[in-house]
Chains A and B, each alone.
Chain A
Amino acid sequence: MEKKPKRPKILVFSTDKISDPGIDQAGLRKIHYSPSVYVISLPCSSGIKPRWVLHAIKQGFDGVFIAADGHECSYSQKCPEFTNAIIEESQRLMKENNINPKRIRMAAICSVCAEPFVNHMSNFSKILSEIE
């Protein structure tokens, strides 16, 4: 048996109504992605607290990915604006703690975005592998 490859651990924050069903779709269609990806689903990406991002990295996650609803958010049209602000604040906290701000990433994932999600995980894994 081949030795298990070392894969970056990624924490994904998804949204209950839109991006989490998209991530479910990837599984439903058996489109494989790294088993080191763990998902926490929330009502809206605008509700993610930067302290959670910092906590995840400090606890050993290599990166945090926000699977946002973007303009499809049913709560607020300003959702992308709010989520961006959360990322900026998270990056500020990360810099303060000598953590590379590239360890956080965001993309809009819709409820049928199975392939885009898997591609994002693959690309983010590569980026994280290159960060020392």
Chain B
Amino acid sequence: MEEKLKKQRIGVYICHCGGNISDYVDVTQVKDLVKNEEGVIVSKNVMFACADSNQKEMVKDIQDGKLDAIVVASCSPKLHLHTFRNVAVRGGINAYNYTQVNIREQCSWAHSDTPAEATEKAIGLIRAGIIKVSNSEALETIEVSSTRAVVVIGAGVSGMRAAIDLAKMGNLVYLVEKEGKPGGNISRWGDLFISGKKGNDIVDALTRQIKEQSNVTLFTDAAINKVSGSLGNFNVEVKIGTEILNLKAGAILVATGFDSYRPADGMFGYNQFPSVTTLPEFKEWIDKNQGEKLVFNNRNIKSITYIYCVGMRETKGTNKYCSRVCCTSAIHNSIQVHEKFKDINVYHIYRDIRTYGKQEILFERSSKNGDIFLKYDEKLPPFVEQIGGKIMVKVKDELTRNQEFEFETDLVVLVTGMVPRHDSLELAGKLKIPVGNDKFFNEIHPKLRPVETVINGVFLGGSCQGPKNISESVQSSLAAAVKINALTKNPKIQLEPIIARVNFETCVWCGKCAEVCEYDAIHPLEMYGKTVASVNEATCKGCGICAPICPVDAIDIAQYSNAEIEGMIDGFMQLVELNIEGKIETTEEQGSSAGMNDLPQIWRRISASLEVAAKTIPALATELDLNTEMITYHLMTMNKYSLVEAEGLDDNDEYYFYKLKKL
């Protein structure tokens, strides 16, 4: 590195992770090698870096040794990044003068088959971490003030439920509904599975609860006109008729729901034959029908054919995804038909049935009702035609080796799924939130951050982010409500300072960075007699898209500067200069004797001790100067691998003796 290292008092902590790392990586040798690195003044092995006792020791080291940066080589940063940032802060150094090196998921576990090379790699990874932290800058979190108010967009079941909880948690809630009344899709539905309640009853109950909350304001016939500001201080313009209302909010919850897929005219005879309808249309009709006979379009219905996956799971079409809820919905609907009307024959022509969890009960009930299930392949879809007023369905059934069935039916119900709302792209543009390939709103991560968007302060709830049933929708919106409250309850919100920074000396303002920024975070600024790029701290997401675009390399992302990244690369490569092979590789002779050198060092010590005589756990702990928990852990693992076995209890009938197992 040409640049002078900035940090000169670095502490490095190499974790055993109770054997998860030290079983494969020779952590003692790693510690001995990295202590010679430039700037390192503390190099330690720790049994569990995340343990309270170790955290306290690290704090003491930082204070006693006046450390200016720390490196923890342990598990993935996804698990303990914030744990050790807090340790750094408690010790008195900046949270961003800390680097976590992943020597577990990306080293000891991934290379457990080659322990010597895993050790070699661990050294390279830690050296890179040391160089990175040497070049790290102290960063201050960005603090913004927050309004304890939330705008919830969409007063369907998800939006209403979240609004109630947000209000109960002490937030002022503005519930904005595009339609003339709240309820959304479920207000049109009758009996619901599993509760058996009617959609309208649920909506009425939620509406009553909203009325009881003095801090919820419901706006109907209201549309989002414009959104500006950022986390803590959003300005949301709502249009009601000709009137424009300005709402101030700390966060926004999007719960706009879905549209039902509408087949193209002629698809399976839709809008072509009067006896072809879609599931949502038929559901609504069934719920309203009070007669004893099933009559549809003046036709007495004695047989119904459901065709599944209409417009969904298209290999070549737009909707490649599975809508997940429509199988259950169709089967539930067929059960309702049987319950309301007698002697109806039902055919289900499906590609696959997805009735997960408790919904499997419905599938079983449907089978018991005597419904006939025929399975088709996407390439051989069923064919619907009308011959002389009769609806004929032709299908090749995979369950009977593609035997072709042709039968008459009185009604064809096309099982259609959920699609993004027709106006979702317009709203996505106003909120600057991304949409996925399926055009539903995109969360940051489906498992790790499922209700957050990349726009700080904008959250997702319900089926606006993908097909969900009612309980899943409510679960997600309530999760979002809790996340929102965690932000808004504090008058000041802390933001990650990992954002773009501009070198004003180099910048000549060409505008390319602003062109690619989708968050409108870069603007020109007059400074030192020239125009330069300026980054809005509150709206920059730190994605770094602007950095490689800059023709004069004037932009860096904090924590990912050229010095840090290129320094890490140098750290990986410096490994070739190390002469560690002789220390960690086994000789042929040693290797052939049960390969013990490939096993963790502690196992070698235990084996050596047990070779002399069988011992109890406390005896081993005393002899090897380790605590009994550690000995127990390793003996159990060695037992699992058939290296040791128990034999007889000690005189007090308290502890087993362990001995080496004869191979």
Contacts and interface: CB of A to CB of B under 8 A. Distances in A.
Nearest to B442: A74
Nearest to A76: B518
Contacts of B434: 73-77
Given A23-B106, A40-B568, A76-B518, A47 B543 contact: yes
A47 B559 CA distance: 12
Given A24-B76, A43-B557, A74-B453, A49 B545 contact: no
B541 interface: yes
Interface string B117-154: 11011001100100000000000000000000000000
B444 A17 contact: yes
Nearest to B75: A24
B104 interface: yes
B113 interface: yes
Nearest to B81: A16
B628 to A, nearest CB: 28
Contacts, number: 161
A44 B442 CA distance: 16
A28 B569 contact: no
Interface stretch (A56-64, A98-106, A122-130): A56-64
B111 interface: yes
Nearest to B109: A27
Interface in B562-594: 562, 565-566, 568-570, 572-573, 576, 581, 585-588, 590-591
A131 interface: no
Contacts of A44: 543-545
Interface string A26-41: 1110111101101111
B4 interface: no
A75 B111 contact: no
* Chain A, interface residues (CB within 8 Å), range: 35 or more
Contacts of B435: 77
A76 B76 CA distance: 25
A27 B107 CA distance: 7
A91 interface: no
B662 interface: no
Interface in A77-129: 77-79, 82, 86, 89, 111
A60 B572 CA distance: 10
Interface residues of B, number: 66
A35 B437 contact: no
B543 A43 contact: yes
A23 to B, nearest CB: 6
A54 to B, nearest CB: 10
Given A1-B585, A35-B121, A46 B544 contact: yes
A82 B547 CA distance: 11
B76 A35 contact: no
A62 to B, nearest CB: 11
Contacts of A4: 116-117, 581, 585
B518 A61 contact: no
Contacts of B588: 1
B78 interface: yes
B316 interface: no
A121 B107 CA distance: 15
Nearest to B568: A40
Contacts of B545: 44, 46-47, 75-76, 79, 82
B112 A30 contact: yes
B448 interface: yes
B109 A86 contact: no
A31 B112 CA distance: 9
B548 A75 contact: no
A125 to B, nearest CB: 14
B447 interface: yes
B548 A35 contact: no
B171 to A, nearest CB: 26
Contacts of A78: 518
A4 B116 CA distance: 9
A30 to B, nearest CB: 6
A46 B560 CA distance: 13
Interface in A3-25: 4, 9, 11, 17-18, 20-21, 23-25
Given A43-B543, A49-B553, A71-B437, A17 B104 contact: no
Contacts of A26: 105, 110
A28 B442 contact: no
Contacts of B124: 38
Most chain A beta-carbon neighbours within 10 Å: one of B110, B553, B568, B573? B110
Contact of A51 (B454, B543, B562): B562
A89 B547 CA distance: 14
A11 B572 contact: yes
Contacts of B542: 43
Nearest to B132: A40
B121 A47 contact: no
A61 B569 contact: yes
Nearest to A14: B106
Contacts of A39: 102, 106
Interface string B255-270: 0000000000000000
15 contacts: A11-B572, A17-B445, A24-B78, A27-B107, A32-B111, A32-B113, A35-B118, A38-B572, A40-B565, A41-B77, A61-B569, A74-B445, A76-B545, A82-B516, A82-B548
Given A35-B121, A38-B121, 18 more contacts: A4-B117, A23-B105, A26-B110, A27-B109, A27-B110, A31-B110, A32-B111, A35-B111, A35-B118, A43-B543, A47-B557, A49-B547, A59-B570, A74-B453, A75-B543, A76-B434, A77-B434, A82-B548
Interface of B: 76-78, 102, 104-114, 116-118, 120-121, 124-125, 128, 434-437, 442-449, 453-454, 498, 516, 518, 541-545, 547-548, 553, 557, 560, 562, 565-566, 568-570, 572-573, 576, 581, 585-588, 590-591
- Please name the 7 residue pairs, one residue from A and one from B, whose CB atoms are nearest each other, closest first: A47-B544, A27-B105, A27-B110, A35-B117, A27-B109, A75-B543, A24-B105
